[in-house]
Amino acid sequence: MCLPSCPTYVETRRERNSPRGRIALMRAIADDEQPVSRSFGEEMYYCLGCLACTTACPAGVNYAELFETARAEVEKKQVLDTPQRSFWRWLTLEVLFMRPRLLRAVGWLLRGYQQSGLQKAVRTSGLLRLLPSNLRRLEPQTPQISPAFSNNIIDEVEKPPAQTSRYRVAVLTGCVQDLAFSNINRDTVDVLLANGCEVFTPAVQFCCGSLHAHNGAPELARELARKQLDQFDVESLDAIISNAGGCGSHLKHYHSLLKGDARYEKRAQLWDAKLKDIHEWLVEISFRQPTAPCNVDEATYHESCHLTHGQKITAAPRQILRSIPHLKFVELPESNWCCGSAGVYNITQPEQSARLLERKLDCIAKTQMSVVATSNPGCHLQLAGGLVTRQSSNCKEVTQPVTLLAQAYRNEKRSMMVNE
Amino acid sequence: MEPRIADFLSGIRQAVGSDQVLTESEDLVPYSFDGTAAIKQKPLCVAFPANSQEVAACVKLAARYAVPVVARGSGTGLSGGSVPVDQSLVLCLLRLDKILEIDERNLTLKAQCGVITKDIDDAAARHGLFYPPDPGSMKISTIGGNVAENSGGLRGLKYGVTRDYVMGITVVLPDGRLVQLGNKCVKDVAGYSLKDLFIGSEGTLGIITEVLLKLLPRPAARKTMLALYDSMEAAAETVSAIIAARIIPCTLEFLDRVTVGCVEDYARIGLPTDVEALLLMETDGHPAAVDDEAARMQAIAIKHGAREVKIAADEAESNRLASARRQAFSALARVKPTTILEDVTVPRSELARMVSFIRKTAGKHQLLIGTFGHMGDGNLHPTFLTNERDAEEMHRVEIALQEIVEETLRLGGTITGEHGVGMAKKVFLKQQYTDDSYALLKDIKQALDPQKMLNPGKIFE
């Protein structure tokens, strides 16, 4: 039953690239019938970790946990190690994504490089040919850094008009989201304010650790989870809001991650219960339907795997899109099929990622829509990158449901001012 | 590695291309099982031929080197039919995936064996045509596998099973010869009906590489109903009364109390959990006939004691009602680590008696068994919810299964309605074939495959 749901199996039609094939290999290792080999390691990193198989599974197998454990085992046994791979893993997992201020400093440098025109100059100069081929291939995918980071445009505490205040929530700004899509964090805060939520957004936040958990570094993931729990006064909040499908899926499992940690286990349980995806939360508090339209006329919707398969949230984002007046919403064929972004998959498995992106762009083209909405920074970057290379596509814009909702709320105020 | 094996492998690589042969352990472990619980065996190698000629070349080589051959599609079988045997060559036929022809004048479709079953019906639908057999795994199972297993599905009562739609096949024989059997003629009595020998032969007589299928006009309308009962007998009587009223519904499916409870726990569709039986009924055909039949079926159900009958107002509601049946296996599979799905089948008239026997047997051996299945054709799916690591409980499962098989045969039934014998049911086959017919089965195998090349160890002990 899992076979037709698995993007890698559908591509290759080889059992080892299927969920049940991978589970059979994991089981063979657990039963000592099979060593943790390089070939096994490669297979675990060929898996997208999209979790589509968990939606299809009749027996409710917890593939996410199996997959994270298997990748951790691959790292422990060092079967894939090369000096280059170890260096990049060290730089990203152990340095940059453990130190939010350093990550922002790198973002700041990158922004300077992009804004000064240097990037353009370098790209046209041919200097890039000096890079090793794998870096050269990745260079065009460097995310465009936002003109301002989240803390520049969101105050630590923002309050809705006093009489409407109903809830106290915290907003998690994320890492990639913070660097590349701080405007989406702003939109998230705005829609929360418009629905009576007092919003608490710490200026400097740690990575949620999903990158680490999905890439075989559970210890670092646990360390980051503890830091998150230290940063928020979980008890006093009604909800902790994540607006990135991939992060949210991981953030909701701190309890199982910190199992056995006497100091944190209980708080982690409370955290999991209060952790809400933004769409989920908006629907839960019966968000107010906007009276004004947003800035686009039409949109289709691509589901983030970890929102759909990881968190099983499928109706809420659509409900938000449908609530916006005059927005024509058309379903995307295969909307829950992975776009190939899959965390860092587009970097580690560029060919398979490109094939999935092509498949996704073909589906988007079928809808004839000019805008595609999604709800995860990885998908957002992947789709935006794909649409740039496919000039023929009708679709020119990638956005997010919260952005469209925030626009609609803002337009209400504008139309009121015009009326006055 | 033995030189004989090395020679054989190099021959296979030459035949299909070296990138289409797997021999590494990491590649073979995932091919060591199919859809059947608790049976596994690693093969010598897996090859992916691209066409009938390559299949024939592989089988010829295997015969020369005395390597047994196991054919495989998507590996969804439920009796271990495509589980490899030790040191075998697995021929995975997924690359033979082309629909070759749709003939609207003769209402036939010709396809290679690796085409996905649902793609066959989808292709037919684009021409307003219909391929009725719909086994549970049709989204991923292959048509070749369906023919080799003679798969059933939910529409058996009205439309029959896979065999009823096979007009011709191309088969690779155990010695590597390629033959074509059957044709587009509705009537054909030239010689023995050889194609029928291979349909349902579970890969033991030949490897089917192409199929010629019969199609029907697609029914214009369909109506779905769900009826709830306080006793299985009442549900069974309803079915008998519907058939006596000269109505042949396309679907008559039931769920017992255990299954309804699990479905509701899992899917929360709003079913009452104190019912003894749930009956899903569907009728299809001309819109006027469908409306008339649906109304009559509803009246019959109420007359025979249905507590409630829901008729779906539209397609969406149809799907919602049908999901109770479609999710039955999924819902049961979640309850315990191991799910053993059986498919004993009895004459339709004995169904209620059989269901109550299964319930008593479960109680006697303190086992959890959910039963659902095809009430219209007597095909039951008693599903044991157990744990293969619990040896003591597994022993009780075996005893209960033996008792269920004995009762099935006593009622004039068969040990398997649609899953096949494979490895899982070969111990029971002899109990069903009590006279010289078991020897006849073996004679046929011996005549066609004297070297025991194809799928040895299946069907026969």
In the block, residue with structure tokens 């990885």: A378
Query: Tens digits of per-residue pLDDT, A355-409?
Result: 999 999 999 999 999 999 999 999 999 999 999 888 888 899 999 999 999 999 9
Half-sphere exposure of A106 (CA within 13 A, CB side): 16
CA-based nearest distance B435→chain A, Å: 39
Cβ atoms B283, B290 nearer than 8 A: yes
CA-based nearest distance A218→chain B, Å: 25
Topology classification of domain B99-217: 3.30.465
Q: Which residue of A has its CA nearest to B30?
A: A21
Contacts of B283 (CB under 8 A, 6+ apart): B222, B223, B247, B249, B250, B290, B293, B294, B297
Integer Cα distance of B232 and B228 in angstroms: 10
Chain A residues in contact with B135 (beta carbon < 8 A)? none
pLDDT exceeds cutoff 90 at A302 = yes
Chain A residues in contact with B37 (beta carbon < 8 A)? none
How far apart, in Å, are the Cα atoms of B135 and each of A8, A351, B147, B382? 24, 35, 11, 17
Integer Cα distance of B234 and B232 in angstroms: 5
Integer Cα distance of B261 and B256 in angstroms: 9
Task: Report percent pLDDT > 70 for chain A.
Answer: 96
- A 124-163 residues with CB below 8 A of B? none
Residue A145, helix vs strand vs coil: coil
Nearest in space to B19 (alpha carbons), one of A212, A309, A14, A317 = A14
CA-based nearest distance A60→chain B, Å: 6
Inter-chain residue contact B140 with A14, CB threshold 8 Å:
no
Chain A residues in contact with B139 (beta carbon < 8 A)? 4
Please give the pLDDT value at position B438: 95
Please give the pLDDT value at position A143: 78
The chain-wide mean pLDDT, for chain A, equals 92
Which CATH number is correct for B336-419, 3.30.2310.20, 3.40.50.1220, 3.30.70.2740, 3.40.50.1100?
A: 3.30.70.2740
Half-sphere exposure of A382 (CA within 13 A, CB side): 29
Cβ-Cβ pairs closer than 8 A, A with B, add up to: 54
CA-based nearest distance A321→chain B, Å: 22
Please give the pLDDT value at position B50: 98
Q: How would residue A420 be classed by pLDDT, with cut points 50, 70 and 90?
A: low
Integer Cα distance of A12 and B424 in angstroms: 30
Nearest in space to B254 (alpha carbons), one of B354, B374, B351, B159 = B374
Residue A294, helix vs strand vs coil: coil
* Residue of A5, A6, A10, A15 to mutate, testing the B interface (most B Cβ within 10 Å of its Cβ): A15
- Rounded mean pLDDT, A150-162: 92
Instruction: Name the least confident of A74-78, A276-280, B141-145.
Output: A74-78
Query: Tens digits of per-residue pLDDT, A21-72?
Result: 999 999 999 999 999 999 999 999 999 999 999 998 877 889 999 999 999 9
Topology classification of domain A298-411: Rossmann fold (3.40.50)
- A 4-63 residues with CB below 8 A of B? 4, 13-16, 18, 20-22, 24-25, 28, 33-34, 37, 39-40, 43, 58-60
Inter-chain residue contact A24 with B75, CB threshold 8 Å:
no
Chain A residues in contact with B339 (beta carbon < 8 A)? 59
Chain B residues in contact with A52 (beta carbon < 8 A)? none
Continuous segment of H or E residues that includes residue B179:
strand B178-182
Please give the pLDDT value at position B448: 97
Pick the most confident of A124-133, B198-207, B248-257: B198-207
Spell out where B119-165 has E strands: 129-130
Chain A residues in contact with B335 (beta carbon < 8 A)? none
Inter-chain residue contact A21 with B30, CB threshold 8 Å:
yes
CA-based nearest distance A13→chain B, Å: 7
- A 55-114 residues with CB below 8 A of B? 58-60
Q: Which residue of B has its CA nearest to A6?
A: B140
Please give the pLDDT value at position A400: 97
Q: How many of the other CB atoms lie within 10 Å of CB of B110? A: 18
Query: Tens digits of per-residue pLDDT, B373-429?
Result: 998 889 999 999 999 889 999 999 999 999 999 999 999 999 999 999 999 999 999
Q: Which residue of A has its CA nearest to B47?
A: A14
CA-based nearest distance B106→chain A, Å: 32
CA-based nearest distance A22→chain B, Å: 7
Inter-chain residue contact B29 with A58, CB threshold 8 Å:
no
Helix axes B52-65, B3-16, angle to 10 degrees: 170
Query: Tens digits of per-residue pLDDT, A214-236?
Result: 999 999 999 999 999 999 999 99
Chain A residues in contact with B41 (beta carbon < 8 A)? none
CA-based nearest distance A33→chain B, Å: 10
How far apart, in Å, are the Cα atoms of B150 and each of A55, A380, B217? 29, 47, 22
Please give the pLDDT value at position B289: 94
Contacts of A333 (CB under 8 A, 6+ apart): A363, A366, A367
Chain B interface residues facing chain A, Cβ-Cβ under 8 Å?
22, 24-27, 29-33, 74-76, 94-95, 137, 139-140, 329-331, 333-334, 339
Q: Which residue of A has its CA nearest to B330?
A: A58
Q: How would residue A134 be classed by pLDDT, with cut points 50, 70 and 90?
A: low
Please give the pLDDT value at position A137: 66
* Per-residue tokens: A145: 């850094």
* Per-residue tokens: B144: 């070749």
Chain B residues in contact with A16 (beta carbon < 8 A)? 26-27, 29-30
* Per-residue tokens: A363: 């589906």
Which CATH number is correct for B221-330, 3.40.190.10, 3.90.1150.10, 3.30.70.3450, 3.40.50.80?
A: 3.30.70.3450
Task: Report percent pLDDT > 90 for chain B.
Answer: 82
- Domain ranges in chain A are 3-76, 150-284, 298-411
Chain A residues in contact with B22 (beta carbon < 8 A)? 14
- Rounded mean pLDDT, B5-20: 97
Chain A residues in contact with B333 (beta carbon < 8 A)? 58-60
Q: Which residue of A has its CA nearest to B75?
A: A15
Please give the pLDDT value at position A138: 66
Chain A residues in contact with B30 (beta carbon < 8 A)? 14-16, 18, 20-22, 24-25
Residue B216, helix vs strand vs coil: strand
- Domain ranges in chain B are 99-217, 221-330, 336-419
Q: What is the DSSP letter of B116?
A: B
Cβ atoms A375, A400 nearer than 8 A: yes
Instruction: Name the least confident of A264-278, A286-300, B324-338.
Output: B324-338
pLDDT exceeds cutoff 70 at A132 = no
Query: Tens digits of per-residue pLDDT, B307-330?
Result: 999 999 888 888 888 888 888 888
Q: How would residue B300 be classed by pLDDT, with cut points 50, 70 and 90?
A: very high
Chain A residues in contact with B95 (beta carbon < 8 A)? 13
Query: Tens digits of per-residue pLDDT, B97-152?
Result: 999 999 999 999 999 999 999 999 999 999 999 999 999 889 999 999 999 999 99
Q: Which residue of B has its CA nearest to A58?
A: B330
Chain A residues in contact with B140 (beta carbon < 8 A)? 1, 3-4
Inter-chain residue contact A24 with B334, CB threshold 8 Å:
no
User: C-alpha A190: how far from its chain's center?
Assistant: 20
Q: What is the CA angle B346-B214-B141, rounded to 5?
A: 65
pTM as predicted: 0.92
CA-based nearest distance A345→chain B, Å: 22
Choose among A3, A14, A40: nearest Cβ to B140: A3
Choose among A3, A37, A60: nearest Cβ to B26: A37
Chain B residues in contact with A40 (beta carbon < 8 A)? 26
Among the residues of A116-148, which ranges form H helices? 118-125, 133-138
> Looking at this predicted complex, what is its ipTM?
0.92
* Residue of A9, A14, A40, A42 to mutate, testing the B interface (most B Cβ within 10 Å of its Cβ): A14
Q: How many of the other CB atoms lie within 10 Å of CB of A232? A: 18
Dihedral sign (CA B273, B279, B283, B287) = negative
Does the domain spanning A150-284 belong to CATH 3.30.160? no
Integer Cα distance of A199 and A192 in angstroms: 7
Q: What is the DSSP letter of A140?
A: G
Q: How many of the other CB atoms lie within 10 Å of CB of A105? A: 12
Inter-chain residue contact B29 with A59, CB threshold 8 Å:
no
Whether A418 and chain B come into contact, CB under 8 Å, resolves to no
pLDDT exceeds cutoff 80 at A315 = yes
Please give the pLDDT value at position A267: 94
Chain A residues in contact with B24 (beta carbon < 8 A)? 39
Chain B residues in contact with A47 (beta carbon < 8 A)? none
Q: How would residue A113 be classed by pLDDT, with cut points 50, 70 and 90?
A: confident
Inter-chain residue contact A22 with B26, CB threshold 8 Å:
no
